[in-house]
Amino acid sequence: MSTLSILYKSFSGLQSFSHSLNNLSHNVANINTPGFKGTSVHFRDMLSDQNKGGGVHYTGETLKLTQGDISRTGQDSHLAIDGKGWFVLTDGEREYFTRAGQFEFDQWQLVDKSTGYKVLGIRDGNIQNFNLNHYNISSPQSTTSIQLKGNLNAGAATGTKVPAEGEEKLEAVYFNKLGEKHTLYFSFTKKTGNEWTVAVKKSETETLATHTIKFNGNGSPHADSANLSVKIDDNQSIKLNIGQSGTFANLTGYSSANSSVAFNAEDGREAGQVKGLSFDHTGKLSVEYTNGDKQDTLHVLLANLPNDQYLTSVGNSMFVYQERSEIVYGHGGQKMFGTIKGGSIEKSNVNMSHEFSEIIIVQRGYQASSQVLSVTNKMIEELYNSARGK
């Protein structure tokens, strides 16, 4: 065995430990990188021409695809996958896969914060950009029914008015088709028997409707008063819901000390702006609006990548996948996929204690290979000096 062979083996050892240290430094540097997947390096022994030990050579790296810890961020658009699956991003030409869910909305498009790539979603089986342009406003809804509750005194004298002159007006708020808020004014006048006249006004001078309200002997609304309505204009009519005959949940006609009526619009709303966003465990986004409306939108698209050998890192905690025929798409909670944690991110899966123990091993190995190299160098120097007769 030649001394030069020993030098080569020592150099190969130094190179292998340099590869290891380079990999360890990359892992440690990304300990706080969301969605980062650490790597392990691999080496194999080599044979010389005489089929004897020829040193070591570097054979590549393998991704560690274990899940990192999930950390709560409190930002609605941040997402983490608890279990299997990858988020799918696109730059408009190709797809990228990541576990780093630091997303944000840019003009209602959900994008990756670091690259600006668009996040893909799925709705009714159709894959599309996760875009909320159709959900950024809740449409207004016109009022169709106003509920009347309270009691009109059956013992009041004929001609009694509610409200009496000087008392606070009886008002009910309603919305038109444009979501504009308006007010109706109500006044009641006692007739003979247990009957009242209700006048509905849009203003002091504009009366929209006048109806007679009758009560049964037990104080419940008479059936003849079940279908009262007010025509606001050609586009809108509002039903006055005073209750059903034989029931006492709405307006009643009991004898009492006084009359008291309250109003509640049963529907209708103004246009609403986005108030809050929330993802459920399946990755479905629900949007809450300022008008009280709530709508379900898309699911965040997940991909199942069964064969790790086709994954290639392209930086930014993203990967491309070379074998498209094996990709299965879906959303959280389905078979083959984990669940989604909203307002959270998955942290790096690098184990710091493990990396430091590996660093110590690499350091010792590098020192040992360096020592072998140093001894071999002295042997060659001694041989050189002997050859020169020194």
Q: Which fold has domain 145-265?
A: Tick-borne Encephalitis virus Glycoprotein; domain 1 (2.60.98)
Residue ranges in the chain assigned as alpha helix (H): 3-29, 352-387
Cα angle 148, 150, 151; round to 5: 120
Identify whether 140 is preceded by a cis peptide bond (ω within 30 of 0): no
One-character DSSP codes across 60-122: EEEE--PPPPEEE---TT-EEEESS-EEEEE-SSSEEEES---EEEETTEEEETTT-PEEEEE
Across the chain, how many H-helices and E-strands are there? 2, 30
The pLDDT tens digits for 154-198 are: 999 999 999 999 899 999 999 999 999 999 999 999 999 999 999
Q: What is the pLDDT of residue 157?
A: 95
Report helix, strand or coil for 360.
helix
For 163-222, list the strands marked E by DSSP: 170-175, 181-190, 195-201, 207-214
Q: Which residues pair with 310 in a beta bridge?
A: none
Residues 170 and 302: their CA atoms lie apart, in Å, by 55
Low-confidence residues of the chain, pLDDT below 50? none
Q: What is the pLDDT of residue 303?
A: 97
- 59, 43 Cβ separation under 8 angstroms: yes
Cα 241 to Cα 142: distance, rounded to the nearest angstrom: 16
Task: Using alpha carbons, select from 120, 61, 56 the residue that is nearest to residue 85.
Answer: 120
Is the Cβ–Cβ distance between 288 and 279 less than 8 Å? no
